């Protein structure tokens, strides 16, 4: 079960810089077979959710918790907006299916 996504931008020349390269928003896509991907949607209005990423210091960690966890084998992060260049690290947080039941 995917429960959250954490992102971080790129440090400029290895130092903390508020103007480093970073993704500022993204969409999440998930798959149970790693072939067919589905966009993570808002359960209220059915729109693809736009997640806020790094808007401050590029090297800060920003975690977005999914309002409703999803079962997935593979996850894609699709940048929607960025500063200077698309540059990011991301980590997918999750738990075993039995932990959410």
- Cα separation, 22 vs 52, whole angstroms: 12
pLDDT in tens, 43-93: 899 999 999 998 877 778 999 999 999 999 999 999 999 988 888 999 999
**Burial (Cβ within 10 Å: 0-12, 13-18, ≥19) of residue 10:** buried
The yes/no answer on whether domain 2-100 falls in CATH 3.40.50.620 is: no
- Cα separation, 75 vs 38, whole angstroms: 9
Angle at CA of residue 64, ends 47 and 3, nearest 5° = 85
| Domain edges within the chain | 2-100
Count of beta carbons in the 10 Å neighbourhood of residue 19: 10
**pLDDT(35) > 90:** yes
Q: Which two tokens stand for residue 40?
A: 């993570």
Q: Which two tokens stand for residue 57?
A: 């210091």
Q: Which residues pair with 75 in a beta bridge?
A: 30
Q: What pLDDT shows up at residue 75? A: 97
């Amino acid at each position: 079960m995917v429960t959250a996504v954490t992102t971080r931008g790129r440090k400029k020349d290895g130092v903390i810089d508020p103007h480093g390269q970073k993704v500022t928003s993204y969409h999440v896509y998930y798959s149970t077979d790693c072939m067919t991907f589905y966009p993570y949607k808002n359960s209220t209005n059915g729109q693809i959710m736009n997640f806020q990423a790094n808007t401050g210091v590029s090297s800060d960690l920003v975690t977005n918790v999914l309002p409703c966890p999803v079962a997935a084998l593979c996850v894609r992060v699709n940048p929607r907006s960025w500063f200077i260049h698309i540059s990011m690290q991301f980590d997918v947080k999750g738990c075993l299916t039995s932990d959410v039941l």
